[in-house]
Amino acid sequence: MSAALIAAVEQDQLKSNLPVLHVGDTVDVHVRIIEGSKERIQVFNGVIIKMQGKGLTATVTVRRIVANEGVERTLPLHSPKIAKIEVKRRGDTRRAKLYYLRDRVGKKRRLRDKRRGLDALTKQEVAATEQQQAAEAAAASASEEKPGDE
Amino acid sequence: MASKVDDIPQTGILGRKVGMTRLFNEDGTDQPVTVIQAGPCVITQVKNEETDGYDAIQLGFEDVKGRNSTFPVIGHDAKAGTTPKRFHREVRLDAAGEHELGGTVTVADLKDVPYVDVVGTSKGKGFQGSMKRHNFKGQEASHGVERKHRSPGSVGGRSSNLGTGKPKKGIRMSGHMGDERVTLRNLPVVKIDEERNLIMVKGPVPGANGSLLFLRTARRLWKRKVAIVNAS
């Protein structure tokens, strides 16, 4: 029961428009940055080496190379600071955590493109978009009803 | 000087810890929160200065089957016109007289309360050594220390123990840790969900998920928080 209550609390804050993400994917993360009164968007491009948590507390760790130096950012997926996540490539991996990439230099850093399990992946994506559309439809009908109530 | 702190409604409520999560603010920062399912509580007794020597209300929380309760409890709660309750706790209030016997207290009553004290029972840790229980440093890893790396060291000599033949009272040693009453003061109330009887408090609170918690309006606010309340 308690898990259901927590889920209900988190429900309002969960994003419905997240893409299907997997460890090994190369992604563009659009991060909102507020400087004084101005807001701009910075794109952080890299490989997901770790996914952790579930529900509202889910995070991904994205690794990229900046000026020959490895940079990792752990980003809460449902944070309002994350404007958008785009999947650029699907990498082929055999592990859940790609810490070994930290020790790789040069070409070895690259992951093979995903070939195995592509069918399952497409199914997941289709399911996700359907769910998203259903959520949007529900939200639309709810917003339609509201003015009627008042 | 009139302070807004005096206008904060004094109240209390009983609840159960649900678990922890995080809530995002609009600016993207986030807060760790503990979700507590609190109330509705029934006022099972109103105490006053004349008859009881002090002003307080007694809250009853969570229904219990009659056969699992006792006649004294059933009778006591029946006086307030309610079914027997599992837990009863008192909240000392100067304005206890304003409350009615049999009235209810819900999370909605804490709407204007910015800070609460949370009382709970900490998780039991069993019999623990002095390093875990009292943060002692233990002994060195080497330099001739043998089989005593986590021992507490000296408990005093003849002079400090006054020749009584035993250590002073209250010397910190290994023993049972946890499973005791813990009060956390002045925790910010982040959000209240009246529909589901939920109250969200910033940060962790004592006890396991599902354990009983007692919340009351913060008794003594720290200076910084008084300033925040006055500025709001």
Q: pLDDT tens digits for A129-148?
A: 888 788 778 777 776 665 54
Same domain, B88 and B100: yes
For residues B32 and B118, membership in a common domain is answered with yes
pLDDT at B135 over 90: yes
Distance CA(A96)–CA(A24), nearest Å, equals: 9
Same domain for B148 and B191? no
Longest dimension (CA), chain A: 62
- pLDDT (tens digit, 9 = 90+) per residue, A57-87? 899 999 999 988 899 999 999 988 888 899 8
Predicted-complex ipTM score: 0.73
A32·B198 Cβ contact <8 A:
no
Number of domains in chain B: 2
pLDDT-derived band at B226 (thresholds 50, 70, 90) equals confident
pLDDT of residue B70: 92
CB contact under 8 A, A9 and B22: no
Asked if residue B123 has pLDDT above 70, the reply is yes
Q: Are residues B155 and B224 in the same domain?
A: no
**Residues B81 and B160 placed together within one structural domain of the fold:** no
B35 neighbourhood in chain A, CB within 8 Å:
5-6, 9
Using a CB–CB cutoff of 8 Å, tell me whether A15 touches chain B: no
CB-CB neighbors (< 8 A) of B22 in chain A: 56-57, 76
How confident is the model at residue A147, as a pLDDT? 55
Q: Report long-range pairs for B80-84 (Cβ below 8 Å, ≥24 apart).
A: B80/B42, B80/B43, B80/B44, B80/B45, B82/B42, B82/B44
Domain ends where: B152, B177, B202?
B177
Confidence tier at B2 by pLDDT (50, 70, 90): low
Residue B87 maps to which CATH number? Answer: 2.40.30.10
Looking at the structure, tell me whether residues B160 and B218 fall in a common domain. Answer: no
Looking at the structure, tell me whether residues B46 and B105 fall in a common domain.
yes
Q: CB–CB of B88/B12 below 8 Å?
A: no
Are B172 and B190 part of one and the same domain? no
Q: Do B104 and B74 fall within a single domain?
A: yes
- Using a CB-CB cut-off of 8 Å, the residues of chain A touching B28 are 32, 34, 79-81
- The pairs formed by A109-112 with CB atoms below 8 angstroms and a separation of 24 or more are A109/A65, A111/A24, A111/A26, A111/A47
Among B140, B156, B177, residue at a domain's last position: B177
CA–CA min distance B87, chain A (Å) = 20
Q: Say if A8 is an interface residue toward chain B (CB within 8 Å).
A: yes
Name, in order, each residue with C-beta under 8 angstroms of B212's C-beta and a sequence gap of 6 or more: B14, B15, B16, B61, B87, B120, B121
- Domain check: are B59 and B76 in the same one? yes
B209, closest residue in chain A (CA to CA):
A2
Same structural domain, B50 and B116: yes
Residues B74 and B25 in one domain: yes
Boundaries of domain holding B205: 5-124+181-231
